[in-house]
Chains A and B, each alone.
Chain A
Amino acid sequence: KQEVTQIPAALSVPEGENLVLNCSFTDSAIYNLQWFRQDPGKGLTSLLLIQSSQREQTSGRLNASLDKSSGRSTLYIAASQPGDSATYLCAALTGSGYALNFGKGTSLLVTP
C-alpha cells in the first residue's frame, strides 16, 4: 500500500522567503503526483501535476519536482506572500491508476 509522508507538518516563515515543502512516497510505481492547496474549511485546489515521465512542473512562483527513484517530490515556493498561507497536500496516483493517496499535508503560515 502506498504511504505518503509530508515534512514538515507545519511551517512559519516571514514574507518574501523562498521555501521548500517535502513529500515522500513508498511505492515508486506512480502514474503521477499532484500538489494541492487547501484553505481552512475549503476543498482542494490543484496546483501542479507531474506525470511519472516528467521531472518538474512550474506555475508562476511554484515549482514542483519529482524523483521517482528516491520516492520524493518537492514543492518550491518563491518569494512567499501572506496569501500563500494554507495547507499544502501532495497525492500520488498509483496502483489502479485512479485512487489518489494523500499525505497529511504541511500547514504553511507566511507572516507579514
Chain B
Amino acid sequence: GAGVSQTPSNKVTEKGKYVELRCDPISGHTALYWYRQSLGQGPEFLIYFQGTGAADDSGLPNDRFFAVRPEGSVSTLKIQRTERGDSAVYLCASSPGLANNEQFFGPGTRLTVL
C-alpha cells in the first residue's frame, strides 16, 4: 500500500486480556516506530526497530508490553494482562531508516480496556 496501515482500527477488550496490534510499514522502510497517545496528549515513544531488531525499547512502560518484527517488515505490539490505564491510541510510524528521516504515521489503533 501507499502508506502505513494498522489493524485493527479499534479494539475493545476486558481488563486482564491479551491483545495484539499490527502495523504494516511503507514498503522498503527499514525503520519502524511505535508510539502511544493518551487523550489530550502528544504521542509518546515506545519502541524503535531497525530491520528485525529492537534498537531501543526504552519507552515500553513495563514488561507487559512487547513488540516483534520477525521479518523486518510487519510489526506486532503485544500487551499482556491489559489494564484500564493501557487505553490509548497506539500509533505506528516508518521511515527509510537513515538518520534524521521523516517519519510517516499510520491511522492508529484505538485500544479501550474495560
Residues of A within 8 A of B (CB): 4, 31-32, 34, 36, 41-46, 49, 51-52, 89, 91, 93, 96-105
Query: Which of B11-19, B70-78, B80-88, B100-108 sits within the interface?
Result: B100-108
Q: CA–CA, A34 to B103, complex, Å?
A: 9
Q: List 15 A-B contacts (CB under 8 A).
A: A32-B102, A42-B108, A43-B91, A46-B102, A46-B103, A46-B105, A52-B100, A89-B43, A99-B33, A99-B48, A99-B59, A100-B35, A101-B45, A102-B44, A104-B41
List, in ascending order, chain A residues with CB within 8 A of B91's CB: 43-44
Main secondary structure of the interface of A (DSSP, over half): strand
Q: Contact between B102 and A49 (Cβ–Cβ < 8 Å)? A: yes
Kindly identify which residue among A91, A97, A102, A105 contacts B100, using a CB–CB cutoff of 8 Å: A97
Q: 16 other contacts beyond A43-B108, A91-B42, with CB at 8 A cut-off?
A: A34-B103, A42-B107, A42-B108, A43-B106, A43-B107, A46-B103, A52-B100, A91-B43, A96-B48, A97-B99, A97-B100, A98-B99, A99-B48, A100-B43, A102-B43, A103-B42
List, in ascending order, chain A residues with CB within 8 A of B4's CB: 43
Q: Contact between A98 and B56 (Cβ–Cβ < 8 Å)? A: yes
The chain A residue with its CB closest to the CB of B50 is A98
